[in-house]
Amino acid sequence: MNDKINSNNMSNNIDRFNTSFSTSSFEWLESIAQALVVMVAILSFIFRIATVDGTSMLDTLHDRDKVFILKWNYTPKNGDVVVISRGTQFNKPIIKRVIATESQTLSIDFENNTVTVDGNILDEPYILEPMWRKGDGIIPEVIPKGHTFVMGDNRNNSADSRYREIGVIPNENIVGKATHIIFPFSRIGVIN
């Protein structure tokens, strides 16, 4: 009789373990699925990671740097480093610095290597060397509504708004602001 009771108890314990294990496995998988959905939503709407392709942003950003992009409710501001999505002008995302935004006046003096926005000469400690390349595009005196004028920090090796193939950027093509270098580890830090 004791053998029969022990056998029933053991059978009940196994059933409880199987039920508990199944429930706990399902809850665990459900938690992972929810975490993945939240992560995808965050990466789609708030943050993104991009890889720098080329040397147009030297010495601020290097080729193959990975940068953290803030996307949520971003509006271009002078001096920000931004990621620009593919548009009709080019076939891959690019990273450039905002020089002037809609309705601002702009002039570039290539002889004296100065950029003037709204009558003020910009202090640009981030540029790699004095600018001598003018580009082949038309530099607008006033930035059109809904557009942004961008240039690379390595002005002599940067396809940017000075060139016809890029031109002024429609704001809807600006993905967001590059805020931090996250790789390589030796270069981790805030982007200025």
Q: Which of 7, 31, 44, 56 is an active site residue?
A: 56
**Residue 178 near residue 53 (C-beta atoms within 8 A):** no
State the sign of the Cα–Cα–Cα–Cα dihedral 138, 143, 147, 153.
positive
**Is 77 designated active site?**
no
Q: Which is nearest to 145 in space by CA: 165, 166, 109, 172?
A: 172
**Is 4 designated active site?**
no
**Residue 171 near residue 73 (C-beta atoms within 8 A):** no
Q: What DSSP state is assigned to residue 72?
A: T
Instruction: Record the tokens describing residue 120, joined without a space.
Output: 């003020």
Across the chain, how many H-helices and E-strands are there?
1, 11
Q: Which of 20, 92, 96, 161 is an active site residue?
A: 96
Q: What DSSP state is assigned to residue 120?
A: E
| Helix, strand, coil percentages for the chain (3-state, nearest 5) | 30, 30, 45
**Residue 165 near residue 89 (C-beta atoms within 8 A):** yes
Q: What DSSP state is assigned to residue 27?
A: H
Q: Which positions are annotated as active-site residues?
A: 56, 96
